[in-house]
Structure 1
Amino acid sequence: MSGETIETREEGQRERADSVAVGVIATADNTDGALRTIHRALDRGHDVFVLQPGETESETVRFAKQFDVEIVRVQASGDLQRYKEELAIAASVKDYDAVIVPPPECERIVYDETLAAITENSIQVDAVTERDVEFSGETVVGIPAYNEAGSIGDVVREARAHADSVLVVDDGSADDTAAEARSAGAVVIEHERNQGYGQALKTLFDEAADRDVGSLVVIDADGQHDPSDISRLAGELESGDADLIIGSRFASNGDTNAPVYRRFGLWIVNTLTNLSMGVVRPRSRVQDTQSGFRAYDSDLLESLATDGEIGDRMSASTDILYHVHENQFKIKEVGTTIDYEVEDANSHNPISHGLTLVNNILKTVERQRPISTLGVPGFVSTVIGISFGYWCFSNFIASGSFPLGLAIISVFFTLTGIFSSFTGIILHALNQHLK
């Protein structure tokens, strides 16, 4: 594009900004969102009107007065349409062609689409916000991100080359992650505070289901995944052979430069996860249970969006597999490359992360299979305890001396077994009752 064309376009955008204002409706609980909207509007060259319902001045208006904004006061009525009309009147009196009004929650305005929707007869225009952007039928890349300003822009730009759209969930970052993602062309949903990887995934599932995406491909924000594999995962999903496609380090053609200790830890977690799902046959095993590179079809997204059992933290990857297994969705793995030598790669402590995953797996097994994990081992332990007790009694009869060591072993195994067996039976009964 020529420099002259760019200058002409930018001049047209400035002229449009000069003739279009932004109207913000102040409420008791939208101060933060309203002030962000005011800042962004002023930065883009739009004048701002702030509507104050009622006589009591809200916190939003008190802060807004510090900026070059017009305050519009009306009687409180709770009628949103009336407030919009009042803003339109105030803007037209000041000779503006139109006023853009975001919802009272002040979700982020998508200015390009909003300005494109303005017609000659438009005076008041409802803002198109990031939550209004539709991805119906599209292949969307979803990226959970936390303090990834250094890498998120490149990841978004590379992902856009292999998908229709990119949706980033900024999980309360303290840096410019959200701004970098937007400037690279992503739609960004922001958490007010850090809530964890699992919660960011759940937000992605909710948003994808609400926006009726065709498929969602989730990748990490740190650049460890190869964006060129996005098309391959999405293509495998379109074939209809599976509902979840996992980009696997350990499947055929997969590769990773993960350190040996990470590979060993992943082997343990993969083995425990498969056993906890009751998967024993090698053909049915999930080889990379902790891969964050996954493609979900629309049916699975709808199902995941309603599951309240997915954890907020790193155990979410395992929880999703439990959901897929229990609801009889199909899984397929394709080989992919995961690079651990990228700058600012995943910094989670592998030991604490691994222990958290193992603890989550054991809790799940205990909850879902109490008879096999508590009842059967408890019965075996009880039999062992009784056997040691018989041995102890036989030695006492034969020698006249009491073998204290055998007695202690017998009591330990017997009591442990009885406690474990009854716990398993009780948990099984509760599970059946809840079902």
Structure 2
Amino acid sequence: MSGTEESTLAVESNLATDRPAVGVVVTPENSKHLPHAVLRAQQSEYDVLVVPTAGVTEESLSFANQLDAQVLKHASETDVSPTERLVEIGRSTGYPGVIVQDELRTKVDFKASEAALREQANYFVEGVRANTHDEEGEIVVGIPAYNEEVGIGSVILRASEYASEVVVVDDGSTDQTVEVAREAGATVIEHESNSGKGAAVQTLFDHVAGQSFDALVLIDGDGQHVPSDIPQVVGPVSEGESDLVVGSRYLEDSGEDETPRYRRFGQRVLDMLTMGSSRTNVTDSQSGFRAFSPKAVEELELNSQSFGVESEMISEASSKGLDIEERSIDVRYDGIDGQTQNPLRHGLSVVTFLLTLVRDRHPLLFFGLPGLVFFGVGALYGVDAILVYRATGEFFPAKVLVSGFLTILGTLGLFIGLVLNRIGNMIAEIGSE
């Protein structure tokens, strides 16, 4: 036994406990699921003993060490089996028993396992498999990431509690995001260069398109989103009630709004523009926390490469006749930098995309409404010039010129809007035949 292991166990042996320890057997084949197994046990308030077998590297054990699990000697360095090693250490440190887990991808029902342990005369018991998988369905959690090495590991570990697979699309990060994500057990897809959030979301859609799944959930990798909200957001999709569920920070039951005021003002502007482009009223159009049904993944055609993808999803879903809902979520801001680019630049890029979307999908609104305003202002200016001339006999050429310019501009806007709207309707009619 190493000095570190001896000192650790000496401390633990002085602690009285009436709960068994969870003993995790790590092999080279299951090592990628080790962080998930440790985290699940610790969240259920069990101490964790980890015994690696031959071939397991120190790198694979790094997350277990960071999570304060007790990592024992490699089983190959002792004369006993991994289970016997766990029993030996469990007895010497005063635990009343050990729940052994070697299938790390499988979720364990720790309460049932502890009950089975108490009913048997043996000191250890194999972990009882939880029957939650069929109830929850196949949920894939997708995380678009760019330079998120600080928060991505904990996000993956917590999201894995609710997912059959966690997929990270690294969008050309220059830090250790890829390495941390892989160590945390995620499937990682890498972009060679930074292509934008929209491109990362499309990669996620392409990844799950050929799979069998019940829901795809998108969350951000910076730690703002709380993974424990996943069941709440995915619920309407799992129950077949909605195709797209947006996690909103601003519904009445979402708790206190901690969003900085300057961000909230900008978000309200984007919410209104999104409503104009999609004719769907949502309270948090820029939320990156959302769930999709397989139908939505198949039918949504995304073109935006940037942050405009959040609004495009809503507009696309609305145009395809998909059901859209919102569910309240919590967010964390303290100690988290949720911006990967300048907020002003971010906002302007989304505004530009939304205006383009309105122009292409609702030309009568884009051209006709401003045209009507220009025409009205020009007409009022012209009437004012006529009334002044009649009352005083004084002629104002500037007013007449401005009136004529605005009236002509407004007429052109209305004409262009009407023509483009008719063309769009004809194309839609031909496409539906």
Quick check: 1:345 aligned with 2:356? no
1:394 CA drift (Å) = 5.4
Secondary structure at 1:199 match in 2: helix
Which structure 1 segments of 5+ residues have no match? 15-111, 114-136, 280-284
What value does the CA root-mean-square deviation take over the aligned residues? Answer: 2.8
Secondary structure at 1:222 match in 2: coil
Instruction: Name the CA shift for 1:2/1:357 in 2 (closer, same or farther; >3 Å).
Output: closer
Instruction: Output the CA distance in 2 between the equivalents of 1:388 and 1:227.
Output: 57
Which residue identity lines up with residue 299 of structure 2 in the other structure?
Answer: S
Quick check: 1:175 aligned with 2:175? yes
Q: TM-score, normalised on structure 2?
A: 0.65
1:8 CA drift (Å) = 8.4
Instruction: Name the CA shift for 1:398/1:342 in 2 (closer, same or farther; >3 Å).
Output: closer
Q: Which residues of 2 match residues 6-405 of structure 1 at below 5 A?
A: 10-11=53-54, 138-255=138-255, 256-279=257-280, 285-304=281-300, 307=301, 309-393=302-386, 395-396=388-389, 399-405=392-398
Which residue identity lines up with residue 315 of structure 1 in the other structure?
Answer: G
Secondary structure at 1:161 match in 2: helix
Secondary structure at 1:11 match in 2: coil
Contact 1:215–1:295, Cα closer than 8 Å, also in 2:
yes
Instruction: Name the CA shift for 1:404/1:182 in 2 (closer, same or farther; >3 Å).
Output: same
1:387 CA drift (Å) = 4.6
Instruction: Output the CA distance in 1 between the equivalents of 2:246 and 2:274.
Output: 15
Which residue identity lines up with residue 352 of structure 2 in the other structure?
Answer: N
1:417 aligned partner? 410
- Range 191-200 or range 258-267, more displaced: 258-267
- Range 396-405 or range 141-150, more displaced: 396-405
2:65 aligned partner? none
| Count of residue pairs the alignment pairs up | 308
* 1:60-92: CA deviation from partner (whole Å, max 9, x where unpaired): xxxxxxxxxxxxxxxxxxxxxxxxxxxxxxxxx
Which residue identity lines up with residue 262 of structure 2 in the other structure?
Answer: Y
Instruction: Output the CA distance in 1 between the equivalents of 2:144 and 2:418.
Output: 41
1:358 CA drift (Å) = 2.1
Instruction: Output the CA distance in 2 between the equivalents of 1:421 and 1:220.
Output: 42
1:32 aligned partner? none
Which residue identity lines up with residue 166 of structure 2 in the other structure?
Answer: V
Instruction: Name the CA shift for 1:11/1:207 in 2 (closer, same or farther; >3 Å).
Output: same
1:208 CA drift (Å) = 1.2
1:141 CA drift (Å) = 0.7
Contact 2:146–2:340, Cα closer than 8 Å, also in 1:
no
- Range 185-194 or range 357-366, more displaced: 357-366
Contact 1:245–1:295, Cα closer than 8 Å, also in 2:
yes
Instruction: Output the CA distance in 1 between the equivalents of 2:352 and 2:269.
Output: 12
Secondary structure at 2:162 match in 1: coil
Instruction: Name the CA shift for 1:181/1:328 in 2 (closer, same or farther; >3 Å).
Output: same
Contact 1:243–1:296, Cα closer than 8 Å, also in 2:
yes
Instruction: Name the CA shift for 1:183/1:399 in 2 (closer, same or farther; >3 Å).
Output: same
Which residue identity lines up with residue 178 of structure 1 in the other structure?
Answer: V
1:238 CA drift (Å) = 1.3
Contact 1:141–1:165, Cα closer than 8 Å, also in 2:
yes
2:14 aligned partner? none
Which residue identity lines up with residue 273 of structure 2 in the other structure?
Answer: L
- Range 356-365 or range 146-155, more displaced: 356-365
Secondary structure at 1:195 match in 2: coil
Instruction: Name the CA shift for 1:187/1:404 in 2 (closer, same or farther; >3 Å).
Output: same
Instruction: Output the CA distance in 1 between the equivalents of 2:263 and 2:55.
Output: 55
Q: TM-score, normalised on structure 1?
A: 0.65
1:294 CA drift (Å) = 0.4
